[in-house]
Structure 1
Amino acid sequence: MYNDDMIASQREWAEEGLMATRALLPLMTPVGTHAWEPEERQTVGFLLSATARASESALLLCAYGQLWDADILTRSVLEGSLKFSYMLQDPATFPARHSEYAHDLFSIALMKDHRKCLDLLAVIEEPEHPQWRPMRDRLLADDELAELSATYDRVHRRELENRWGFTGLVGELSRSGDPLFRDLGAMAQNYSMASHIHHMDMVGASIPLDRDRRSPERREAIHLAHEGRLVSDILAFLYLRLGVGYRFVGADTAPLAEAQSTIRALNDKFAIAHSTWMDVEYPPADESD
């Protein structure tokens, strides 16, 4: 569907984004080498590794033109970046928020997985067969389940999950007045669109095909603008994690100028693609409509 020039461009942009993220990741060293408690180091390391891994996967999908699937992974990167930012927003609140993320939400997830495994085992003919051992091993012991159920009643679970969900995180960080989180609300539209794709509702199922049915000029212009936005978002989320992490550990922020310069250079290229798409999709003649 796309010509050779388009295929080459999409791969080039994705590779530039991938090389940029890999070049900037070492800047996270002051955060990784901070004097964390062992469990804190593990939690922060897990979250930073997961966001970096999902970022690379999204960029690899971009290289092959699978932008809608890359949107889903970029949504995950955003969520991980928001949770990292919320947890490390303030040293005073860090211990409580770390405990909520690493212990409370983890325990709630185990309870949910327990129930889903029970549902699976309830519908198969031989639940005791060795092939279902992995599912049985996910089941909680009766006393453990009872303890968790008593600790995390429905109201408590809902409050925690709402606070750590996308809307709760964006609301809390945006209302803080912190300059680092000033523009987070602008991500809601992209997050919502990725959610449509992820959940495969009518909007998510129809939008990709709508693009495929456009004229080649319109389709190619929006394709490049879309990829540019994805790469730009991934780099922006990385910079957000760097900014939050450096501030939390008290590191010298001078090295972040390198990150800003790298990201700005790529964003200038993507801005041209966006401008081209706007001219194609909304030509000047339409301004009087």
Structure 2
Amino acid sequence: MTRRNHTVVIEFVFQGFSSFQEYKFTLFMVFLALYLLTLTGNAIIMIVISIDRHLHTPMYFFLSMLSTSETVYTLVIVPRMLASLVGSSQSISLAGCATQMFFFITLAITNCFLLTAMGYDRYVAICNPLRYTVIMNKRVCAQLVWGSCSIGLLVAIIQIASVFRAPFCDGDVAHYFCDIRPVLKLSCADTTLHDIVNFIISSLVIVVPMGLVFISYILIISTILKIASAEGRKKAFATCASHLTVVIIHYGCASIAYLKPKSKNTRDQDQLISVTYTVFTPLLNPVVYTLRNKEVKDAIFRAIGKKPLA
């Protein structure tokens, strides 16, 4: 940490996993393995969707965009975290911290709204199947993706301007990356207004898309229950199972991390929650969509020259 007149901070130092010094190498190996699995899984999904014409549909277009976003999201956080676990330098410049936070917020919010777009896609496919191709055309899909990214960018700009306009009196970040709450705690100024703004924004970008997905699935389930044949109901539920699984886990982790009272947990508990949504949750996307989705599994088998599963 570098200071000027003991008040102006121009560099932050991550405290990271300082409570787990004796387990640092073990944590490095575990996180590295999970990170490589995440990159590999998302790469497989993106490649298979791009080369298999059976998957050139709106649902898999959104899945490909989600995999791309998740891949960049992990690139922003995990490599720096791995370097901190085995390297001697734990510092990051003020500009570097702001950059990391900007991309983290942008991509995290983009992922939330991409999941909402996927929920809307499932709603149209099941509740209005005859007009599906008309409603979910290429232009609409592109607009939904662009809208998700734009919301992420706008919120990130507002948050960065709010957080880094305040002066900092301390440079020891009690975290392993530049998240909003740990950085705000280092400010010399009263952060009450910042905390309120942060909570309102977090609530909107989590509760609003989560609510839209919830409404979509109420309508979807209502429509499915009206299907006469058991086989038809089973097939309709199967098309939503993977997405619903990812949604529950994604929004669940986000709610615990950002909608709880800021003093509710200890520092180690906060870091455990953060590890969940920065390391484990991005792995769920490829795992769920390859293990639970028959169309993706069949596409993978076709890609490697094997007969799809019956």
- TM-score of the aligned structures, taking structure 2 as reference length: 0.43
- TM-score of the aligned structures, taking structure 1 as reference length: 0.45
Structure with the bigger percentage of helix: 1
Structure with the bigger percentage of strand: 2
